[in-house]
Structure 1
Amino acid sequence: MSERGAQESKARRRLAEQLAAQKAAEAKRRRQAWVGAGAGLAVVAILVGVFVAVGQGGDDDSADQAAGTPAATADPANPADPANPAAPPAPQLPEGADPALGTKPTVTGGEGDLTELKVTPLIEGTGPEVKSGQNITTNYVGVFYKDGKEFDSSWERGEPATFGIGVGQVIPGWDQGLVGVKVGSRVQLDLPAELAYGNDASGGRPAGPLRFVVDVLAAQ
């Protein structure tokens, strides 16, 4: 082979090698582009999945809240309803009692001078008579006899008062005025000062003649 032919053969080989190198580099670039695109799609897919999961979680939380937290609505027939916490619960009345015992009475002052105990039945109960030595459960309102200003009420505390009767646990006017009263009764007790707390107002006690309206709910 001549020297010229040998040079042409070398040139063709170099060209072929250059073309092969270019094709290999182009193929590598395509592979890298596909890998990059695939990774990008994977990231997008992951982000979409996260957003969907978060959105579904929020919806679930809302649904749980809607299902587990009912709206608070006041029930006028149930004064002890949590939506109406200021109202005291209705008292437990004895069987067959007048429904009026479920409502706090309006108590006004008296007239004239009060010199002795007066017991005035307002509602006649049908239960057994209260006996000395029993524990009785009552609702009551206490006012000053002269002006009718209220100074005490079990109704405002939301629960009846239970105590021994006829044994000195309460003021003398109660010990004397409630023995013999039938369970289920509402009575008005007008007490002169000496059968109540006396005329001394020290210590925050109500002084002078007093008037109580007492509901006898139980005796045992």
Structure 2
Amino acid sequence: MSESTDNRSTKSQRRLAEQLAAKKAAEAKRRRQAWAGAFAGVAVVAVLVTVFVIVGQRGGDDAPEQAAGTPSAPAEAPSDPGAPPAPQLPEGADPALGSKPTVTPGEGELTELTVTPLIEGTGPKVEAGQSITTNYVGVFFASGEEFDSSWERGEPATFPIGVGQVIPGWDKGLVGVTVGSRVQLDIPAEQAYGDGEGGRPGGPLRFVVDILAAQ
């Protein structure tokens, strides 16, 4: 084989080697780009997952725990946890019956039973022989000093009416009063506890009575 032929063969081999090297380099570059793209995609997904987790945790921290089916608004707490519970009022009763009344002293000389309506109830009239449920405050007529109150005991009082089980001023003054009423009873001593023997309050008395039920 001639020298010129050898030179051409060597050049052809070099070109082929260069082409193969370029092809390998291009394939390696494509692989590197593909790996870089895949890694970038994984990184983006990881960032999004982290964001969702953080937001979800914050939302869980901020939202109050609430049982299914319960209202979102909390129940109103009593203003004074040590106060007696409010009485159960009859349907349609004036809300004022839910609060203890302020009772002032009377004026002048009390000689007869006086019944003064303060709140007119809409329920049935109390009949003699029924048991009535009441809240009441009792004070001395002349001074207004309190000596008894169902409000302070934290529960209404229930008793028969019109059959001699209570003082005459109550028997006479409360029969005929409608349920849901608040009345003021000014009772002379002879229809109350007289002179107050046995530690009972003596003299004329004033009561403010709420009729909560009659049956």
Q: What is the TM-score when the length of structure 2 is the normalising length? A: 0.64
Q: Could you tell me which amino acid in structure 2 is paired with residue 148 of structure 1?
A: G
Q: Which amino acid aligns with 1:219?
A: A
For 2:129, the equivalent position in structure 1 comes to: 133
Is 1:191 equivalent to 2:187 in the alignment? yes
Identity of aligned residues (%): 80
What's the RMSD between the two structures over aligned residues? 1.2
Write the mapping of 1:58-207 to structure 2, written as runs, cut at 5 A: 75-76=77-78, 84=81, 86-199=82-195, 201-207=196-202
Residue in structure 1 matched with residue 206 of structure 2 by the alignment: 211
Pairwise CA distance, 1:103: 0.2
Mapped partners of 1:96, 1:217: distance in 2: 11
Q: How many residues matched?
A: 140
Q: Find the aligned partners of 2:165 and 2:182 in 1 and give their Cα distance.
A: 21
Report deviation, 1:166: 0.2
Structure 1 distance, partners of 2:207, 2:105, is: 10
- In structure 2, what is the Cα distance between the partners aligned to 1:151 and 1:110? 15
CA distance in structure 1 between the aligned counterparts of 2:138 and 2:187, rounded to whole angstroms: 11
Alignment deviations for residues 149-171 of structure 1 (CA, whole Å, 9 cap, x no partner) = 00000000000000000001100
Tell me, in whole angstroms, the C-alpha distance in 1 between the residues paired with 2:152 and 2:198: 21
- Alpha-carbon offset, residue 184 of structure 1: 0.1
How many angstroms does 1:75 deviate by?
2.1
Q: Which runs of 5+ in 1 are unaligned?
A: 1-73
In the alignment, residue 168 of structure 1 is paired with which amino acid? G
Distance of 2:149 and 2:206 partners within structure 1: 12
